[in-house]
Structure 1
Amino acid sequence: MADLKIYPIGTTQSRNLNRFIEVAYELNRHNENWIAPLRSELREQLNSQKNPWFEHAEAEYFLAERDGKLVGRISAHIEKLTQKTPPEQGGGVDVGMWGMFEATDQEVADALLKTAENWHRNRGIKKIVGPISLSIWEEPGLLIKGHDHPPTIMMGHQRADYRAWIEAEGHKGIKDLFTYELDITKPFPPLIQKIVASGEKNARIKIRKVNKNNFMKEARLLMDILNDAWSKNWGYVPLTDKEIEHARHNLEPIVFEDLIMVAEVDGEPAAFMMTLPDVNEKLAEFKGKLFPFNWIKMLWWLRKPRVRTMRVPLMGVRKKFQTSRIASQVAFMMIEYIRRNSVANYGASRGEIGWILDDNQGMRSIATAIHSDINRIYRIYSKNI
């Protein structure tokens, strides 16, 4: 068998980062359900000099090569904010992570996973968690259900055989993340309609759109609600101010005011729901490249996008309201208003909610109440080293 070489490439050199990125394109080029991400965005994400995530993280990228051909890749990284969270939330001072995993076969997978283990072991890490690429806010988990359809925006898609290869190396599943899909052209069940109608009669509640003209201020408000609502969730780490600004810059072109709602109770911002048009439906045409002409097509499309699917990546209700009746009222009101806007203004017919943690019974109950079904499952693994 030909010699297999695994070697580090650093996190800044453009040529090496390009080679690291191209591995995924090569290994997935025959997969009709894999959506090629934009290379320009990946180069910015992976470059430690451009991504503010690296201000509280360190990483190394490894390439696998056989007979002069690239056959795999993996990242090994330490997220310092995760290390500050308690073990029951997936953190701890001795926890590291891995991600960006691609491999042509079991031999390559074994070698890459062992290389990531050794990198962590040399830094005193006792447990590795993954795949998380690179942050919990980006593409967490390995796809174990839903290989028969493309992912929506900001969700990953990996080959089905990766699961067996990873588990063969002793990695155990510790957390599943669900996405739910539903037909949004149909009205919600009568009970939900009654809850919405009741909320509309409640003078304490106001549902408003975000103001994109002051989007940075609105982004900080949404993150403040999210920090309060999600702070005890498994895997949660707060975004820094620079990360919020970075995310705002990347998301602003695909943010539309009538798809993001804020719920106020007695004048206090109490909850929010963010929905994004599935840009992947357009990106599928571009094969990962915006230049020289695809950026014009994208800008034209973004003027008034028409999509089949809307994705709800984020939703949160402040803790002080979570056990009250008003929580369900504002949640279902926001969902209903965005459902109507998605169909009327964007031609959407399908919604996707998530990801949602397997133990988040509140959000899973909401998904069940509106008659949505699990369409994709992502699994996060852990291994003591």
Structure 2
Amino acid sequence: MKYADEFRDPIAARAALDAIARVCDQIGATEENPVRIMEICGGHTHAIFRYGLDKLTHPGIEFIHGPGCPVCVLPMSRVDECVQLAEQPNVIFTTFGDAMRVPGTRKSLLQAKADGADIRMVYSPLDALELARRNPDKEVIFFGLGFETTTPSTALSIQQASREGLTNFTVFCNHITVPPPIKALLDDPYMKLDGFVGPGHVSMVIGTHPYDFIADDYGKPIVVAGFEPLDLLQSVLMVLEQIRDGKAVVQNQYARVVPEHGNPVSIAAIDDVYEQRPSFEWRGLGEIDHSGLRIRETYKAFDAEEKFGIGYATGTRSVQEPEGCECGAVMTGRMKPTQCPMFGKGCTPEMPLGALMVSSEGACAAYYQYGGARAVEAAE
């Protein structure tokens, strides 16, 4: 498969692993005193486990799984508000599939659908827009969820709805941005991180400069990475080489896809439609200043929070995690998924207790999927 096999070449991978081992030996990284590298993106977490990179790399490397999945960091209160919106009369509530099974305090969207709410899975906000056109007598709400990767498509849909003068289409905006939570983690005195593997898809939109503060202010190297095995191995090697050489800069391993200054069309759409919220709650991290986006006054007619009087428009509330669920600790790198007392017992992909087991990019789902019975045994 052209342009994929090249990044899965076992001979090249072996050479990269040998180079990683040499640099680990040079800097004195050991299993007892490892270099702690956080992969920010949940897609990277799954790639690491899918290809066994955690087993193949030098024992002096410890991968810390960051809060890089928007479904995983969504607080339960926002899930409750989704259900509340979906259960309104005359509403068609639309969402991406991986948000359907995330549990709230009362029920998930999937359970609400089973109870009679008109909830439909879509692949794009444009699908929701088409539903609004075809159902002028219904209120169509799109669950706007995701990092900078999905934010432009929602913004473009709102712009299109505005041009068409649609009055029955709104967005429940839960779009969030990557740099603020990284800063929150770096400011956490209990977090020990030596470097970062930066997100690839997010960086396609925003470029590499939003991460400058990681190197400039905190002295930590970060390498924006692709998703194939050799992408990740090369990125880890680049982080280690910076540590060895006493450097801390932003490097772009994924230059074949990620432009330095991002995608100007996407950035323009985001800036036109959204503004920063003063703060937004992240599951496991709490309220983080300027980390969420809300719809600007110009497009207020398409803001479900304003139209239906819900969420931050009326003062959203924080909700405690289910008893025994350690999603917050896993997302902040304080424990591995297998250390959660519910892992593989009260929380499985079939019956998830926490968002990290639900999401296709969740760390717990990765451990369960690729560790199988061994992961469950490790939890016992």
By the TM > 0.5 criterion, same fold? no
Q: TM-score, normalised on structure 1?
A: 0.27
The structure that is helix-richer by fraction is 2
